[in-house]
C-alpha cells in the first residue's frame, strides 16, 4: 500500500532529515479512516550511530551556552509553536484520531506552556557555597549529558515538549523516540527547534518500535531515560536502564478514582466524570475510570450522566470542529477496549449507556467506540482493576468516607484521584489520604506547567513539570577548596 501523497517520514538527526541504509519502513494509519497516512523509515544502525555522535557533539556546545542564552532560544521555539498551532493541531488530529477541536485548544498549547515554563527557569539554577573551617566548598548544577525520551501515542507533540523542555533548559541534549503510531508530532517539534535557533543535534528524533526504544535504554552513552507508556513497558525500560545505572523518569498508567460525596454539585461532578473518561475518547493516563458515587445521590447522578452522555457527545470525523469525541488509536486498541467491555458485561456490570463499536456517517471506517458507562460495578471486576485506556466509565456506590478511601486506594497504581465535595475540610482530609500523585478537588484533568505530575506506586517514578523537575535533569557537583596548607600523615 502506498500513502496518498507518497510521503516517507525520515529520522531527524543533526538538524535535518536523514535517510537510513537498511531501507526498512513501517506504516502509520489514520485512526478515523483506516487509511495509510504515510510510511516511516526505521532508525537502523547507521541512524543510531549518527544520532549518538551528533547528540554528543551538540552537548559540548549547548551545555556551555549561558543559561540565559538557552532560555532565549527556547522561548523563540515557544513563539514558533504558538504561531504554527493550527497546522500542528491538524497533524496531531490526523495521527491520533482525536478531535481537532481538542488538539487546536490543548495539545500544542500545553506543550508550548511547559517549554516556556522551563525556558524561564533555566537561568534561575544556582548552586550553594558554604564555609567549612578555613576551607569552603561550592556546588554546581551540571547537566547529565544525552537524555533519551520515549513517548506514548496519546499526546505525541505534548509529550515530546514535556520531556525536552526541562532536559534542554538544563543544558542536556535529547534523542527522542516517539510512538511508532504517531511519529510526526516529535518530528515537527524538532523542526521548530531548528527554526528557533536550537543548534543541530540538541534534539534528534529516531523512529521505530520496541527494539529502538530498548536500544536507547541500554546505550552506554545515554545518561537518563524519560519514559511515558504502560506499566509493563516501564518495567522493561527500567530493567534496560539498570544495565548502565541510568537515571529514569517513568510516567505510567493509572486506574484513578473519582469520589463524589453527597454534598457535591452534581452537575460539576458529572462534568468531572465525563472529562475524566471521555476527553480524548478516554485515552488519557489520569482518567478517573472508577467513579465512586455516594448512595444518597447515586440515582440522580446516573439520570443526568446518561442524559448528558447521550445528548452532548458528538462522535464523527475528528477534523470537523463540531466533533468532540474521536476514534481509538488503532484497530488493535479498539479490539482491546471492546474486549474489556465484553468482560464488564460478562462479570455482571450493568450498562447505563454505550457498550458498542460505532460507525459515524462522517467517518464510517474509523475505529470508534461509543462512550460507555457501566453501573452497579464492584471493586473486583476486571473493568475496575485494569487500565482500559478507552471511553469506559465504571460507577460504584459507596456509603461512608473511610470506606471509599480504603476502596479508592486498593489499587497497585496511584497516578491521580479526584474529590467532589462542597465541604472544604472533608475535601482536603480525603485528598491527603488518597494514594495518588495528583489529586483534583472539584476539578479534573487540568495540568498546568507549574504543577508537578507523576504517579505513586506503580504509576511512576519522578515527576514532569513543576520546578522540581529541572533538578531531575542535572547532577550536583561539589567542589571543595583547600585554603590552608594540606596536612598529610605520609
Ligand atoms: P507503550 O508502553 O506500549 O509504548 C510507549 C513507548 O514505549 C512507545 O514509544 C513504544 O514504542 C516504546 N516501547 C515499547 N516497548 C519498549 C521497550 N521494550 N523498550 C523501550 N521502549 C519500548 O504505551 P502506549 O500504548 O504508547 O501508551 C499508552 C500508555 O501510556 C497507557 O498505559 C497510559 O496510561 C500511558 N501514559 C502515561 C502518561 C503519564 O503521564 N503517566 C501519559 C500518557 C500515557
CA nearest to 52, candidates 220, 170, 249, 225:
220
As given in the structure block, the three cell numbers for residue 59 are 552537548
11-13/16-18 β-pairing: antiparallel
Nearest atom of ligand 1 to the alpha carbon of 254: 34
Give the model confidence (pLDDT) of 444-461 as tens digits: 999 999 999 999 999 999
User: 103: which DSSP letter?
Assistant: I
Give the model confidence (pLDDT) of 345-398 as tens digits: 999 999 999 999 999 999 999 999 999 999 999 999 999 999 999 999 999 999
Could you tell me the distance, in angstroms and rounded to a whole number, from the CA of residue 150 to the centre of ligand 1? 8
Nearest atom of ligand 1 to the alpha carbon of 285: 34
Could you tell me the distance, in angstroms and rounded to a whole number, from the CA of residue 246 to the centre of ligand 1? 18
Backbone angles phi, psi at 327, to 5 degrees: -100, 155
Could you tell me the distance, in angstroms and rounded to a whole number, from the CA of residue 252 to the centre of ligand 1? 7
- Residue 188's pLDDT is 98
173-177/203-205 β-pairing: parallel
CA distance 433 to 435: 6
- Residue 292's pLDDT is 98
Give the model confidence (pLDDT) of 51-99 as tens digits: 999 999 999 999 999 999 999 999 999 999 999 999 999 999 999 999 9
Could you tell me the distance, in angstroms and rounded to a whole number, from the CA of residue 203 to the centre of ligand 1? 20
Counting other chains too, the contacts that 34-39 makes at CB distance below 8 Å and 24 or more residues apart are 34/331, 34/365, 34/366, 34/367, 35/4, 35/365, 36/1, 36/2, 36/3, 36/4, 37/3, 37/7, 37/94, 37/95, 38/3, 38/5, 38/7, 38/8, 38/9, 38/184, 39/3, 39/7, 39/8, 39/9
Give the model confidence (pLDDT) of 288-338 as tens digits: 999 999 999 999 999 999 999 999 999 999 999 999 999 999 999 999 999
Residue 489 has pLDDT above 70, yes or no: yes
Query: For atom 34 of ligand 1, which residue has the closest CA?
Result: 253
Check if the beta carbon of residue 37 is closer than 8 Å to that of residue 29: yes
Average pLDDT over residues 117-133: 97
Residue 4 has pLDDT above 70, yes or no: no
User: 142: which DSSP letter?
Assistant: E
Nearest atom of ligand 1 to the alpha carbon of 253: 34
Q: Which of 41, 102, 188, 251 is catalytic?
A: 251
Q: pTM above 0.85?
A: yes
Predicted confidence band of residue 37 (pLDDT cuts 50, 70, 90):
very high
Predicted confidence band of residue 3 (pLDDT cuts 50, 70, 90):
low
Query: For atom 17 of ligand 1, which residue has the closest CA?
Result: 210
Give the model confidence (pLDDT) of 195-210 as tens digits: 999 999 999 999 999 9
Check if the beta carbon of residue 457 is closer than 8 Å to that of residue 435: yes
Nearest atom of ligand 1 to the alpha carbon of 229: 30
Could you tell me the distance, in angstroms and rounded to a whole number, from the CA of residue 399 to the centre of ligand 1? 36
Average pLDDT over residues 22-45: 98
Could you tell me the distance, in angstroms and rounded to a whole number, from the CA of residue 179 to the centre of ligand 1? 8
Nearest atom of ligand 1 to the alpha carbon of 230: 32
- Residue 6's pLDDT is 73
Average pLDDT, rounded, for the chain: 97
Residue 1 has pLDDT above 60, yes or no: no
Check if the beta carbon of residue 113 is closer than 8 Å to that of residue 75: no
Beta bridge partners of 139: 478
Query: For atom 26 of ligand 1, which residue has the closest CA?
Result: 152
Predicted confidence band of residue 211 (pLDDT cuts 50, 70, 90):
very high
Catalytic, 180? Answer no
Indicate the top mutation candidate among 92, 110, 149, 152 to test ligand 1's pocket, ranked by most ligand atoms within 8 A of CB: 152
- Domains identified in the chain and CATH numbers: 8-252+459-477 (3.40.605.10), 257-441 (3.40.309.10)
* 187-199: b (≥16 Cβ within 10 Å) or e: bbbbbbbbebebb
Q: Where are the alpha helices (DSSP H) in 313-416?
A: 331-346, 382-385, 401-409
- Residue 2's pLDDT is 56
Count of residues making up the chain: 490
Predicted confidence band of residue 130 (pLDDT cuts 50, 70, 90):
very high
CB atoms within 10 A of CB 141: 18
- Residue 91's pLDDT is 98
Ligand 1 site residues (CB inside 6 A) read 150-154, 177, 179-180, 209-210, 213-214, 217, 228-230, 233, 236-237, 240, 251-254, 285, 387, 389, 415, 455, 460
Indicate the top mutation candidate among 97, 111, 229 to test ligand 1's pocket, ranked by most ligand atoms within 8 A of CB: 229
Q: Where are the alpha helices (DSSP H) in 170-230?
A: 184-196, 210-218
Amino acid at each position: 500500500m502506498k500513502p496518498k501523497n507518497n510521503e516517507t517520514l525520515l529520522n531527524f538527526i543533526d538538524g535535518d532529515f536523514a535517510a537510513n541504509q537498511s531501507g526498512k519502513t513501517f506504516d502509520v494509519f489514520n485512526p478515523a479512516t483506516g487509511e495509510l497516512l504515510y510510511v516511516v523509515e526505521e532508525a537502523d544502525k547507521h541512524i543510531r550511530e549518527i544520532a549518538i555522535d551528533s547528540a554528543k557533539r551538540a552537548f559540548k556546545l549547548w551545555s556551555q551556552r549561558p543559561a540565559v542564552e538557552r532560555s532565549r532560544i527556547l522561548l523563540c521555539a515557544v513563539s514558533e509553536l504558538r504561531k504554527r498551532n493550527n497546522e500542528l493541531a491538524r497533524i496531531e488530529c490526523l495521527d491520533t484520531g482525536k478531535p481537532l477541536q481538542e488538539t487546536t485548544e490543548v495539545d500544542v498549547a500545553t506543550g508550548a506552556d511547559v517549554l516556556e515554563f522551563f525556558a524561564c527557569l533555566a537561568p534561575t539554577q544556582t548552586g550553594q557555597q558554604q564555609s567549612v573551617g578555613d576551607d569552603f566548598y561550592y556546588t554546581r548544577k551540571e547537566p547529565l549529558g544525552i537524555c533519551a525520551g520515549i513517548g506514548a501515542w496519546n499526546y505525541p507533540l505534548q509529550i515530546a515538549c514535556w520531556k525536552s523542555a526541562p532536559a534542554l533548559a538544563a543544558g542536556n541534549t535529547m534523542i527522542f523516540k516517539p510512538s511508532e503510531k504517531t511519529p510526526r508530532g516529535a518530528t515537527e517539534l524538532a523542526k521548530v527547534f531548528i527554526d528557533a535557533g536550537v543548534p543541530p543535534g540538541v534534539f534528534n528524533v529516531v523512529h521505530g518500535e520496541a527494539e529502538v526504544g530498548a536500544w536507547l535504554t541500554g546505550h552506554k552513552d545515554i545518561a537518563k531515560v524519560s519514559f511515558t507508556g504502560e506499566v509493563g513497558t516501564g518495567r522493561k525500560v527500567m530493567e534496560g536502564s539498570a544495565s548502565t545505572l541510568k537515571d529514569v523518569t517513568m510516567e505510567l498508567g493509572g486506574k484513578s478514582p473519582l469520589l463524589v460525596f453527597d454534598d457535591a454539585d452534581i452537575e460539576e461532578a458529572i462534568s468531572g466524570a465525563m472529562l475524566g473518561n471521555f476527553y480524548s475518547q478516554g485515552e488519557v493516563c489520569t482518567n478517573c475510570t472508577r467513579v465512586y458515587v455516594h448512595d444518597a445521590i447515586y440515582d440522580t447522578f446516573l439520570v443526568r450522566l446518561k442524559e448528558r452522555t447521550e445528548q452532548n457527545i458528538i462522535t464523527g470525523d475528528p477534523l470537523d470542529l463540531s466533533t468532540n469525541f474521536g476514534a481509538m488509536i488503532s484497530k488493535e486498541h479498539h479490539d482491546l477496549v471492546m474486549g474489556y467491555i465484553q468482560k464488564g458485561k460478562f462479570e455482571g456490570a450493568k450498562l447505563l449507556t454505550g457498550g458498542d463499536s460505532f460507525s459515524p456517517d462522517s467517518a464510517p471506517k474509523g475505529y470508534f467506540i461509543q462512550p460507555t458507562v457501566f453501573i452497579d460495578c464492584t471493586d473486583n471486576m476486571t473493568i475496575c482493576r485494569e487500565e482500559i485506556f478507552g471511553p469506559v466509565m465504571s460507577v460504584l456506590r459507596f456509603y461512608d468516607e473511610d470506606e471509599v478511601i480504603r476502596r479508592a486506594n486498593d489499587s497497585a497504581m496511584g497516578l491521580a484521584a479526584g474529590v467532589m465535595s462542597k465541604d472544604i475540610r472533608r475535601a482536603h482530609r480525603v485528598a491527603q489520604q488518597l494514594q495518588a500523585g495528583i489529586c483534583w478537588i472539584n476539578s479534573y484533568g487540568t495540568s498546568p506547567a507549574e504543577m508537578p505530575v507523576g504517579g505513586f506506586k506503580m504509576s511512576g517514578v519522578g515527576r514532569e513539570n513543576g520546578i522540581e523537575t529541572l533538578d531531575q535533569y542535572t547532577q550536583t557537583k561539589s567542589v571543595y577548596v583547600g585554603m590552608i596548607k594540606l596536612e598529610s600523615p605520609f
